[in-house]
Structure 1
C-alpha cells in the first residue's frame, strides 16, 4: 500500500500526529510509503528525514499557495532539485477555495488580504502569472515529477492536462476531482482519464464532504477505470489514522460492488508507480 495524500503536524491546521507518528502508523499497517503534503510549505526536507529514519519511501513536494510565492518557479525548482517528486497547483489559495468558503490561511489573521490564484483559462493567458505557470510546467516535465491539479476548477484542470500533453508529462493526477472543489462530474472525469489523467478519490471525501456517498464515489471510480488512485487525505483530528482511513474507503467501495483487487491496486501499485521514479 502507498498513500499519495496525507497531512501531518506541524501544520497551520490541527493534525492527528506529527511526521514520525504518522510514519509509525504506516509502518505498523505494512505500507511501503506515502506522500507527505502541506498546503503552505514544501515537505521535501521533512519527507527526506522521515524516509531515512523510518525506512519507508516517504515522498515530499510543494503546493503552490501564497506562502511559497504562489505559482513560483523558483520554489518549484528548489523543491524538485532537492528530491521533491510532487507539485500541487493552488489549493487553499485557489479562487475556487475562496468562492466555496473553504479554509484559507487568511482565516488566521484578518490583516492578510484575500487575493487568490488561478491559471488559464480563468487567468489571462498573456499575464506574468501565466508565464510562471508555463515555467513551472516545464520544470515538472524536466524533472519527471508528478503534476497534481490542486483545487483549481474543472476548466483549469483541463488546461493543465493540455499543457502536460504538450510537454510529455506522463505523471498527471487530478486531485480529488469529485470533491467540492473542483466538483467535476463522472462524465468529465472519464474523458480526462481516457486522455491519461490519473484520478484521485480520498477517504476525506467519505468522512467530511457534504452530500458525498459511497455510491457517488463508486461512480467516480468506475469513470476513472485503470487510472484510479485511492488516497486517505487524512491527518485531521476528527478522521481515523491515515492507514485506517484508507482501509475504510476501500471497504466502502467494495460494499458498492467494486472489485477489491482493483481497489488494492489503486491504493498500492498504481500510486507507487505514479510517484516514484
Structure 2
C-alpha cells in the first residue's frame, strides 16, 4: 500500500520543485454562491508562494474574468497570474455567444460547456446524493441547457464554436455526456478550435477508456480532477491505481492534472496539487512527466507562451 503522507513529508523539496511554474486550470475559489474555503486573492497568494505560474478559476454561476483582471492589475508582483473563464449554465444565459465574446475580450482562457445545467448532469444527479450547495437556499435549481435541436447542434452552440475558434479560447467539455462531447469536439475541430479539454472522464460524464482514447485522438487534453483521487479529499471516489490507469490510457503527454478544489470541508487546492505530485511519484512517473501533466500541458491549453 502506498503511503502518500510519508512521500509528501520525505519528498517535500522534490514536490515543491516539480510544482515550480505549474498551472492549475480548474479551481473553485470564491466568492461564490456556493461555500468556498478560499477566495481568488488568497488562492493567488498561496500559489505564488509555492511558485506556480498560473491558475484559472472556475465558477458554475458566473464568469470570473473581471475578478481575475482586477487581481492581476493590483498585484503585479505576485508570481502566479490568475485567469478565469465562463461556464455555459443558466446564470449566464446558457448557450450565450455574447457572454463568450465578452469572456474572450477580457482575456478569459476557457469556455466550459454546461456543468450543473447539463442535461446529462441533471440525469446523473437523480441517482447521486450531490446537489448544488446553494440551490435550495439562495437560487432556483438548474434547468437543462439542451445542446441539440432535431438531432443537430443548436445554432447558438455553433456560433459559440466560431467565437472560440476566432478568439483562441480553450473549449472544455464540462458535464455533458461523452457522446455529446465527441460530436461537439468534432464540429469544433472543423471550425478551427485548436484547444480542447475533456473534463474529468472519471466522473459524471459516462466515459469508457475507449472514449478517452478517441477524444484524445481528436487532439484534446484529458483533464483529471485530483479532488477525485487525492487522499484527504472529501470527494475522493477513485484509487491511486485508477489514476495510473487513466494516465496510461493516453500517456502523460495528453494528460492534465488539476485540483478542482476550493470547496469548504476538504483539502486546499495547493494540498491537492502536492498530493497529486506525491501520488504520481509513487506510481512511477518521472519528475518531468509529472511536471508536464501539471505545468507544460495546462499552460499550452490555456494559451501561455512557451508552454
TM-score between both structures, scaled by the size of structure 1: 0.91
1:109 deviates by 4.8
Residue of structure 2 equivalent to 1:44: 65
Is 1:90–2:114 an aligned residue pair? Answer: yes
Residue of structure 2 equivalent to 1:270: 297
The count of residues paired between Structure 1 and Structure 2 equals 272
Distance of 2:70 and 2:280 partners within structure 1 = 34
Is 1:248–2:275 an aligned residue pair? Answer: yes
Instruction: Give 1 or 2 for the bigger CA radius of gyration.
Output: 2
Is 1:132–2:156 an aligned residue pair? Answer: yes
Deviations 1:27-76 (A, max 9, x none): 11110111011110011001111222333321111110000001111111
Between 1:196-205 and 1:253-262, the stretch displaced more is 253-262
Residue of structure 1 equivalent to 2:220: 197
Backbone CA RMSD of aligned residues: 2.0
Residue of structure 1 equivalent to 2:248: 222
Residue of structure 1 equivalent to 2:27: 6
Residue of structure 2 equivalent to 1:64: 88
Return the match for 1:145 from 141, 165, 169.
169
Distance of 2:234 and 2:180 partners within structure 1 = 24
> Do the aligned partners of 1:90 and 1:118 also contact (CA within 8 Å) in 2?
no
**Structure 2 unmatched runs, 5+:** 1-21
TM-score between both structures, scaled by the size of structure 2: 0.83
Alignment of 1:226-237 (within 5 A): 226-237=253-264
**Structure 1 unmatched runs, 5+:** none
Residue of structure 2 equivalent to 1:115: 143
Q: Could you say if the C-alpha distance between residues 63 and 105 of structure 1 is closer, same or farther in structure 2, counting changes exceeding 3 Å?
A: farther
Deviations 1:181-235 (A, max 9, x none): 1031222101211221100011111134464111112111111321111110110
Does the residue aligned with 2:24 lie in a helix, a strand or coil? Answer: strand
Does the residue aligned with 1:60 lie in a helix, a strand or coil? Answer: strand
Distance of 2:134 and 2:31 partners within structure 1 = 18
> Do the aligned partners of 2:186 and 2:218 also contact (CA within 8 Å) in 1?
no
